[in-house]
Amino acid sequence: MKVTPPETDDELFVRLRRGEESAFVALYRRRQGAIYRFVLHMSRSPEVAEDVTQEVFVALLRDACGYDPDRGTLSGYLFGIARKLLLRQIERGRVDVPLESDSEDAAIPELAVAGNALEDLTHREGIEALRRAIGTLPRRYREVVVLCDLEEVDYADAAGVLGCPIGTVRSRLHRARALLLDKLLNHERHPRPPVSALNPIRCLT
C-alpha cells in the first residue's frame, strides 16, 4: 500500500491562501508548539506567549501576508513574525526583558566550551536548571539557543529570523553555550537552597 507523504508547509500555505480552512488548521497544529515555546522562553510569560502565538497565525490569514518561499522557509517566517511581535511587547514594557545595545557583546568575556561539557553538565544538573540558566542569558544569546538548540532551526533560517549573517548566529551560539556552561558550573558549585530554607514571602513573589 502506497503511503502518501504529508504535505509540505508551502503546499499547505498555498491551500490556505485559497481559503481552505483545513490547511490553516494543519499548519497551526504543526507549527504552533514551536512558536509558543520560543516566545515563552524569551518572555517567561505564558500570557504573552499565547497572545503572540495567536497573532502570528492571524498574520498568515491577512491579505498583506509577506511570506515568500524564495526568501526562506515558512517556519523561519513564523519565528520572524513572533520575534517582531515580542520586541513590540518589550518596547511597550509588557515583558521584562531589557533592550540591548551592540556594545554589550564586548562586556561578555570569551569562554571556551570543551567537548560535550555542556551536555554532560546538563544531564547532571537537569533540564530545569538549564531552563533557568537560559532565562538569565542576555536576549541576543537566549534567542539563538532557543532557536537553534531547543527548536532545531537551521542556521540559515535563524539568520533570517534575527536579521544577521549566519556567521553572527554561529558566534552568538558559541558564546551562549559557553555562558550556559559557566552558569551551570556556578550552580553546581553553589546549589540553590531548598525551598524550606528560603524566605517564604520571597517564594511567592
Cα separations in angstroms, 108 against 90, 154, 184, 197: 22, 25, 16, 32
| Residue 198's pLDDT band (cuts 50, 70, 90) | very low
Question: What are the boundaries of each domain within the chain?
Answer: 9-91, 104-191
Q: How would DSSP label each residue in 58-102?
A: HHHHSTT----GGGS-HHHHHHHHHHHHHHHHHHTTSS------T
What are 183's three cell numbers? Answer: 552558569
* CATH of 104-191 given 1.10.10.10, 1.20.120.1760, 2.40.160.20, 3.40.50.1820: 1.10.10.10
Q: Mean per-residue pLDDT for 63-80? A: 90
| Residue 101's pLDDT band (cuts 50, 70, 90) | very low
Distance, CA of 133 to CA of 120 (rounded, Å): 15
Q: Mean per-residue pLDDT for 67-79? A: 93
pLDDT at residue 182 in the model:
83
What residue type is 20 in one-letter code?
E
Its CATH class, for the domain covering 9-91, is: mainly alpha
Over 50: is that where the pLDDT of 32 sits? yes
